[in-house]
Structure 1
Amino acid sequence: MKSIRERILNKCWGIVFLFALSAIASSCSKSHEGPYYNYENQNAVYNGSTYAFLQAQDGLFDSLLYVIDRVPNLKDTIENYNITLFAPNNQCFTNALKNLNELRSTQHKTPLYLRDLDLMELDTLLCRYVLAGKFVTDSLIEFSDGISVQSLRYDYAMHLRYHRQDANGYQNGGPQEIEFSDPKNSIFERYWVTTYTTSVNIYTNNGLVHLLSGGHEFGFGEFSGRMNK
């Protein structure tokens, strides 16, 4: 078991890391779904696992941690394997639950919460946010049309595309971001559901984390249809 001193140090590190991310975000401009985009966070390093990083963010990813814990064997993957995680924050789950329960209300059904969700459906959706290996922004720059990638467990096709925003009159002089899309098994982009990162390239001991906008609805538009049972 960890000593009290180790626990205190890990907690302090998490607070410092969260403060650093907040300070960086406060200097960035808004775009797309309303997030602040990160100009400088290209080489952030967290001294711990990806799972520990989520735990250290002062409650910002409590919903994500809760569903990771619910899905069998997923915590071990997030904690120990070489992965890239596109991390939806609490607001992303709030958005999904709100839409689900508004639908259920019209059908005179009782509300559902994270604890009530079907585990197989939750596993299917959650794995779309996890990719095997590291996908840093530098690996995407040369692909102007983006790249297709396979998500965890089910080899479901997702799509990554690099962008650099304009800033202060300078073309491509602003923050970098990843356009993260669920193509819905279609080659036609009009059918895709897309969200954007707010911070990129956060290295952990076992992988990489990109943070998603709070404007994103967890499940890429499939949450209500899959969970309304």
Structure 2
Amino acid sequence: MRNNFLKRTHVRHVIAILIVALILQACNKEESPFVDFDNSSASYDGDALSYLQSKPGVYDSMLLVINRLPGIADSIRNGNYTIFATSNRSYAIALQNINNARRDSVPALPPVSFSTMEQYILDSFFCKYIIGGRITTDDLAARADGLQFPCMKYGYTMHTQFEVTNASGFLGGGPKAIFFSDTRKSVFTYNWIRVYTNTVDIKTDNAIVHVLDVGHNFGFGNDFINALNRHAETEE
């Protein structure tokens, strides 16, 4: 009888220890909501252009534009930049919107592609996605209101703002993100066109790459469409 009592007591102690351990583990997870999430792809052994080329089916349209614009490929391969990478879907969304607007114009305008649209206009909007210097989320984290940076050409500035998103019921417990904005040369944020990043801080040999949301409309919408259409109308 005594042996049975001791065995039962031992089992109770073991169960109690396990319960305490589980409670402590749960508490630790709740107290540290930030440690389990990382949406950074760390580093890539090569230059920024090689990084884009290493993702077939993702950046094909971006690479088509890069190869079409004079000097851009060399700059991305060798220059000291921060690149906001745009996926194939971003270009598909933009092209559909562009050609819908051209079809509905009076008179209607012929459709275009990224291989045929006016080079200067394409260059001026593409360069918005490449800003000088290597800028990481750590560089932006201390400035709650964000920072403006010049694009690689044309003297145009873009706004970048660090944000930690919400997840799993925790305020600010989600992934790091950058709010990337075309200010449209306005000081009023309601005039800005903004997009979140999906992945941040990809370090290549010469640049930092941040990946924009796949639903982003390349060119930031109507300004790009209007620039292309105005050019087409003046040619007629």
TM-score range, shorter chain: 0.7 to 0.9
* SS of corresponding position for 1:44: coil
Q: State the SS of the aligned residue for 2:160.
A: strand
Distance 1:71 1:39 in 2: 37
| Residue deviations 1:133-161 (CA, integer Å, cap 9, x gap) | 11100111111111111111122111000
How much does 1:43 deviate?
5.7
The Cα RMSD (Å) is 1.3
Partner SS for 2:181:
strand
State whether residues 147 and 159 of structure 2, in contact with CA within 8 Å, keep that contact through their aligned partners in structure 1: yes
Does the residue aligned with 1:114 lie in a helix, a strand or coil?
coil
Amino acid at match of 1:57: K
1:172 alignment partner in structure 2: 172
Cα distance in 2, alignment partners of residues 207 and 183 from structure 1 = 23
Query: Where do 1:3-152 residues align within 5 Å?
Result: 39-42=37-40, 44-107=42-105, 108-152=108-152
In 1, are the aligned partners of 2:39 and 2:198 still within 8 Å (CA)?
A: no
- Counterpart residue identity of residue 223, structure 1: F
Secondary structure of 2:211's aligned partner: strand
Inter-partner Cα distance in structure 2 for 1:105 and 1:169: 46
Query: Structure 2 CA distance, aligned partners of 1:109 and 1:132?
Result: 36
Deviation digits for residues 6-51 of structure 1 (CA, Å, limit 9, x no counterpart): xxxxxxxxxxxxxxxxxxxxxxxxxxxxxxxx93133611111100
Task: Write out per-residue CA displacement over residues 166-215 of structure 1, whole angstroms, 9 at most, x where no aligned residue.
Answer: 11122211111000001111110000010110000001111110001111
Amino acid at match of 2:160: L
Percent of aligned pairs with the same amino acid: 37
TM-score by length of 1: 0.81
- Which amino acid in structure 2 is aligned with residue 143 of structure 1? R
What is the alpha-carbon distance in structure 2 between the residues aligned to residue 79 and residue 59 of structure 1?
Answer: 20
Q: Which runs of 4+ in 1 moved over 6 A?
A: none
Task: Please say which of residues 126-135 and 41-50 is displaced more in the overlay.
Answer: 41-50
Structure 2, unpaired ranges of 5+: 1-35
Question: Paired residue for 2:20?
Answer: none
Q: CA deviation at 1:103?
A: 1.0
Instruction: Tell me how many residue pairs correspond in the alignment.
Output: 192
Higher Cα radius of gyration: 2
Q: Which has the higher helix share?
A: 2
Offset, 1:110 = 2.2
Q: Which amino acid in structure 1 is aligned with residue 227 of structure 2?
A: R
Classify the secondary structure of the residue corresponding to 1:177: strand
Q: State whether residues 41 and 202 of structure 1, in contact with CA within 8 Å, keep that contact through their aligned partners in structure 2.
A: no
Secondary structure at 1:158 match in 2 = strand
Partner amino acid for 2:141?
A: I
